[in-house]
Structure 1
Amino acid sequence: MDDLGDLNAFLAVARAGGFRDGARAAGASASGLSDAVRRLEARLGVRLLNRTTRSVVPTEAGRRLLERLGPALGEVEAALDAARGDRDRPAGTLRLNVPISASRLVLPRLVPPFLAAYPGIRLEVIAEDGFVDVLAAGCDAGIRYDERLEGDMIAIPIGPRVQRFATAASPDYLRRHGCPDHPRDLLRHACLRGRFPSGAMPPWEFERGGEAVRVDPTGPLLVSLGGATDLAVEAAVAGTGIITLFEDWLRPHLDAGALEPVLEAWWPAFSGPFLYYPGRRLVPAPLRAFIDFVRARESGPG
């Protein structure tokens, strides 16, 4: 960069025909330009300007350099202007690592308007429920719930701020087996369970009036959470058993009457997800655009 500055100094002096006029054109001092030209000549080992008290004229070597330097520095400035323009017209690829629930329940209302607003951005979403290091996986950012956020990351809210786990079963199942009155009654029912890729099978948690209950029921179907969750939902609709899942995931079936709420007074609430990314000073333009878009949507009406 020092070389580039000295080259610009030489260009200003040679075009203006003097150090004072060159300094006015470049917004610098005449002595500063003189020092820069001397440094450049010392590095190249040739005289570039013939200086007298009345004029400053390029030498033969200076003229040859001037002829090639002008277009070259013009290209450099054009490239820098293009880079600066990315701040206003973000372009490139944005890679997000998200849980499958977020790809289904959070991103659908954000992705289409975001891509419409930024046609130069290509969004790549990797949806998986295993816990991964987003940077090691080559992603720019991720979506996680607060219990799985890393401490050295910046996190901003994305999606519903309060969510619930809902428990439900089909009308046919409840007609045949009855409706549980307490979470512990689930131990006598056919329950459709899920297991994380790590092998962990989370218990079902309930709370009401300060009382928290955790149960570990059994049933005829165990699915991989995320990839095979819809299979469990369809089994519940078909009357195979009782399911616990994100309320928003089950809501269409609840509204249609294909599933009925079970133990609704016990449904636990939890905070919504966060978009998180490394706390570095210069955030890539596509990610900065997505962050600003999410913040605007979250702070807007509704």
Structure 2
Amino acid sequence: MTAELSDLNAFVAVARAKGFRDGARLTGGSASALSEAVRRLEAQLGVRLFNRTTRSVQLTEAGRGLLERLAPALAEVQAALDVVNGYRDRPAGVLRLNVPVSAVRLVLPDIVPAFLAVYPEIRLEIIAEDSFVDVLAAGCDAGIRYDERLEQDMIAMPIGPRVQRFATAAAPAYLDRRGRPEHPRDLLEHDCIRGRFSSGSMAAWEFEREGEIVRVEPTGPLIVQAGPATDLAVDAALAGTGILYLFEDWLRPHLDSGALEPVLEPWWQRFSGPFLYYPGRRLVPAPLRAFVDFIRDRPPRP
């Protein structure tokens, strides 16, 4: 029994994206073409691979078994084809990166335009989300994460600033009205703007000074989804809604302009910058290899 390689790729794309529309976005094709490819494959195999409803697309047991064996095999096929890329004057192809929204805002703007200028035949796709996903299962070649969320079997290399800080800030008008906190626990008496991760959890605000670490969980009138709605939280802080806790780099333009005032700056906690990470396999796709070399050759950001 022989199946078309394009139909097998379509099946994997739909399975990874858990839907035809998201699969189409992943592949750059159309949902109808993916649907037809999957129907053709199911007819050829004589089994149903997906249970489809108006709201969801779920793998059947047969579909899960096929995906487990097929995805690694297709990755090896792609890696084998990519050997030819090594004979080109310039690397070409698609590079897909899975990154947190903070990296889209704070790390990639300094890298992407310069990289694409050097490698015009590479098409870079950025998938931004703050939930922790398996980059391979998500159809990506590599990802950006912080060290506490790196998978152990991955190769990791620094990308972007090597040291960052979490900052607390508020509009001067808010602080004139409510007072200026002198200790992190004073935040419990203030209106604070919180962020909730897609998992439903809300991280405590953590501060450090002279070896003392203080964690607080303040409350306030606004909770936003961390990442996608962070700009709304910043806008609310600028408008005087309350105190915000966020990457210093994200807030720096507003701190420099005076639109936001630092709060508890001696307590701002430092942490390690992000890492580019990718599977530790011997044959790295040419576009990813070019990106890794480009990052490695760049001088580190202060």
Same fold (TM over 0.5): yes
Task: Say whether the 8 Å CA contact 2:85–2:91 is kept in structure 1.
Answer: no
Partner letter of residue 244 of structure 2? I
Aligned to 1:170: 171
* Pair 1:275–1:298, CA change in 2 (3 A): farther
Structural mapping, 1:51-66, within 5 Å: none
Aligned to 1:293: 294
Is 1:259 matched up with 2:250?
Answer: no
Instruction: Determine the C-alpha separation between the residues in 1 that align with 2:111 and 2:230.
Output: 22
Instruction: Determine the C-alpha separation between the residues in 1 that align with 2:85 and 2:164.
Output: 41
Aligned to 2:244: 243
Instruction: Determine the C-alpha separation between the residues in 1 that align with 2:284 and 2:108.
Output: 21
Q: CA deviation at 1:82?
A: 5.7
Instruction: Determine the C-alpha separation between the residues in 1 that align with 2:163 and 2:238.
Output: 25
Identity %: 75
Aligned to 1:278: 279
Aligned to 2:127: 126
Partner letter of residue 102 of structure 1? A
**Aligned-partner SS, 1:132:** coil
Q: CA deviation at 1:80?
A: 11
Q: CA deviation at 1:85?
A: 2.0
Task: Say whether the 8 Å CA contact 2:182–2:264 is kept in structure 1.
Answer: yes
* Pair 1:81–1:103, CA change in 2 (3 A): closer
Structural mapping, 1:194-205, within 5 Å: 194-205=195-206
Deviations, residues 138-161 of structure 1 (Å, cap 9, x unaligned): 000000000000000000000000
Aligned to 1:108: 109
Partner letter of residue 205 of structure 1? E
Give the TM-score of the pair, scaled to structure 2. 0.71
Instruction: Determine the C-alpha separation between the residues in 2 that align with 1:212 and 1:122.
Output: 44
Q: CA deviation at 1:217?
A: 0.3
Task: Say whether the 8 Å CA contact 1:181–1:263 is kept in structure 2.
Answer: yes
Aligned to 2:217: 216
Aligned to 2:57: none
**Aligned-partner SS, 2:98:** strand
Instruction: Determine the C-alpha separation between the residues in 2 that align with 1:200 and 1:252.
Output: 28
Give the TM-score of the pair, scaled to structure 1. 0.71
**Aligned-partner SS, 2:220:** coil
Task: Say whether the 8 Å CA contact 2:85–2:286 is kept in structure 1.
Answer: no
Aligned to 2:139: 138
* Pair 1:83–1:113, CA change in 2 (3 A): closer
Q: CA deviation at 1:200?
A: 0.7
Instruction: Determine the C-alpha separation between the residues in 1 that align with 2:299 and 2:220.
Output: 39
Task: Say whether the 8 Å CA contact 2:142–2:279 is kept in structure 1.
Answer: yes
Q: CA deviation at 1:282?
A: 1.0
Aligned to 1:47: none
Task: Say whether the 8 Å CA contact 2:95–2:124 is kept in structure 1.
Answer: yes
Partner letter of residue 230 of structure 2? T
Instruction: Determine the C-alpha separation between the residues in 1 that align with 2:220 and 2:171.
Output: 15
Task: Say whether the 8 Å CA contact 1:192–1:222 is kept in structure 2.
Answer: yes
Structure 2: gaps spanning 5 or more residues: 1-80
Aligned to 1:85: 87
Instruction: Determine the C-alpha separation between the residues in 1 that align with 2:122 and 2:129.
Output: 22
Deviations, residues 69-115 of structure 1 (Å, cap 9, x unaligned): xxxxxxxxxx99964423x4100000000000001100000000000
Instruction: Determine the C-alpha separation between the residues in 1 that align with 2:162 and 2:86.
Output: 35
Deviations, residues 264-302 of structure 1 (Å, cap 9, x unaligned): 000000000000000011100000000000011145x86
Aligned to 1:159: 160
Structure 1: gaps spanning 5 or more residues: 1-78
Instruction: Determine the C-alpha separation between the residues in 1 that align with 2:150 and 2:271.
Output: 15
Task: Say whether the 8 Å CA contact 2:97–2:141 is kept in structure 1.
Answer: yes
Is 1:187 matched up with 2:188?
Answer: yes
Q: CA deviation at 1:134?
A: 0.3
